[in-house]
Amino acid sequence: MRLNFQQHRFFAAAAVLAGMAGIGAAACAQSAAPTLQVEVLARDLAHPWALAFIGAGRMLVTERPGRLRLIQPDGTVGAPIAGVPKVDAVGQGGLLDLLADSDFARNRTLYFCYAEPAGDGILGFGGANSTALAAARLSADARRLEQVTVLFRQQPKVASRAHFGCRIVENADGTLFLTLGERFSRMQDAQTLDNHHGKVLRLRKDGSVPPDNPFVGNSGALPEIWSTGHRNIQGATLGPDRRLWIHEHGPQGGDEINRPEASKNYGWPVITHGENYGGGKIGAGLSAKPGMEQPLHQWTPSIAPSGMAFLRSAHYGKAWQGSLFVGSLKFEYLARLELRDGKVVREQRLLQDLGQRIRDVREGPDGLLYVLTDESRGQLLRLRPER
């Protein structure tokens, strides 16, 4: 089906939240933003979750129910691409993040992560599952996945509908970072090294473990682990500093931005700036403890963050260049975060008029921002600065 662009023009002036790291939403001020033209490139996507660019203006989009689709430059949405493995599309699970290899033009390799059911379990009925990472080659006609190989399976599998994490980032050294949730019911696992719950992993592209990972050779520790103490990471990107940046969902309050470093512990659930759903402290109610890292920034109340991208281009003006963009599922906006010395100093809320949950944000090869909205009839949007 060929889709025409629907263009919404609005002046994206928004409240600016002065938010220093470790401080929640604070004083509001007004800040002018570029005038944006929002183009609807594709619509009627079923809970789209992730976006990847594969050249010649074409894009791939994952739909959480388990479909992968090709979108042409004119907005034409292709039929589901064949070859996607069984996906447990239950609760927050499904077909989730997607990454095109940095050498995709030559090797046509994709990486994707998804909720994988245990064995031959019945899909969608509350059986055990976990996050899996796979690699595949996209066929020359872009109609099917070939040579699908599961590179990693999160262990142990548990019966849970929540907190799959699942963002993939290619590191500057060619390894892959994979973010994993603690599956909600297993939050204490985030503090131990004998499981993959609530962790960031570092893997080679064939699924093997880099020998310089921090816990290699440690008795009782899984060697894939890079960092610990995470809750549910649904945003990750490589920053201009060539380091990994992530954000993670807090409970009721305490959504965090972190820069995970090898072997470091980011605290969950021992420390948090949030509280239990409905109120009440988590554990001892600590927000800091020696040996555990403080977030670079935190949101209270929670915004339910998803998607994460730095803007490197100058298309939107100098003031926006270098900004960090994060989607909000709960409050249905795109956050532009201004950084200074690695700290968030200001937040600007964009796209509030859309009234849609923002699931993913990416900077395209053309230097423009692309956004996915997580709805039953979700959209792929392109943001253009008006001249």
The whole-angstrom distance between residue 174's C-alpha and the CA centroid of its chain comes to 19
Q: Is 163 a catalytic residue?
A: yes
Residue 301, preceding bond cis, omega within 30 degrees?
yes
CA distance 251 to 302: 8
Rounded CA-CA distance 132/117 in Å is 9
Closest CA to 165 of 293, 275, 52, 306: 306
Distance set, CA 172 to CA 21, 98, 176, 311, 342 (Å):
26, 18, 9, 17, 19
**Angle value at C-alpha 79, between 74 and 85, nearest 5 degrees:** 130
Point out the catalytic residue in the list 8, 47, 163, 297. 163
DSSP string, 248-311: E--SBS-EEEE---TT-B--TTTB-S-B-TTS--STT-BS--TTSPPPSEEESS---EEEEEE-
Bridge partners (DSSP) of residue 70 are 60
Give the number of other Cβ atoms within 10 Å of residue 310's Cβ: 18
Q: In this structure, what is the dihedral angle of CA atoms 88, 309, 31, 14, given to the nearest 10 degrees? A: -20
Annotated catalytic sites, by residue?
A: 163
